[in-house]
Amino acid sequence: MSYIQAENLIKQYGAGEAAVTAVGGMSFRIKMGEFVAVMGESGSGKSTLLTMMGALNTPTSGEYSVDGLEVYELGQDQRADFRREFLGFVFQSFHLVTYLTVLENVMLPLVTVKTNGRTKRAMAEDALSRVGLDGKAHRLPGQISGGEQERVAIARAIVNEPPILLADEPSGNLDTKTSREVMDLLRSLNEDGMTIVMVTHSPECAGYARRLLRISDGLLVEDIPINGSAINLECWSSGVME
């Protein structure tokens, strides 16, 4: 069985007395194919954890492996290759490259892949088709709606069919209806076998996951399975959530 495994991950910024601990020692194991929601208050270390899982942010200490591969023992170039082959990112606020068309944005992860242009284009068109954006390939990001931009971001994340998708507040800037559509899409991808780790503030969105990691002050305080329904806000009556 393949796992994403974190062992006492610590991330501190600064040094000495001025050091700030963003992640204070987290250990967890995620099975491939899981859909995990990560929740916590602002500044709890969710995004730092996600960037460490995305091989973008070297932990101060601890171990992190994917499918047995010790990610932070890899060199910079190998980490870039790892991101390209294993990970898809969906950022908060979509983060599309404004001067590239929808199709070109989706093709970005394929730019450095040694495949011919026609194949890359077909893969990008297929990804756009999967998120329901067939007809908007040649528009610029500024010419489509927020929901559509989020779909483009998802299409870009899945275009090279990575086994893991890391999503940071994928519905953060969307209305309720569009949020649901996006979450349905993520669930569908998970049902197709993609591992999804999603940082969210939204209990409703977290309800789409099968497992919840709750973080507070850089520590993992809860790791529970959830049954696929929206999490009762009362769960957070302790005031952990904003």
The binding site for other proteins (CB under 8 A) comprises 51, 54, 56-57, 76-77, 80-81, 83-85, 87, 89, 91-93, 95, 97-100, 104, 107-112, 117, 120-121, 156
Are 83 and 91 contacting, i.e. CB atoms less than 8 angstroms apart? no
Cα(238)–Cα(40) distance, integer angstroms:
12
Q: Which is nearer to other proteins, 167 or 231 (CB)?
A: 167
CA atoms within 13 A on the CB side of 11: 26
What is the three-class DSSP state of 99?
coil
Q: How many beta carbons lie within 10 A of that of residue 1, not counting itself?
A: 7
For the CB of residue 129, give the shortest distance to other proteins in the complex, in Å.
17
CB nearer to other proteins: give 84 or 180.
84
CB of 143 to other proteins, least distance (A): 15
Q: Which is nearer to other proteins, 167 or 226 (CB)?
A: 167
CA distances (Å), origin 104, targets 9, 34, 190, 210, 218: 36, 30, 25, 33, 37
Distance (Å, rounded) from C-alpha 82 to C-alpha 76? 10
**In the complex with other proteins, which residue's Cβ is closer, 173 or 180?**
173
Shortest separation between residue 201's beta carbon and other proteins, angstroms:
17
Residue 84 CB, shortest distance to other proteins, in Å, is 2
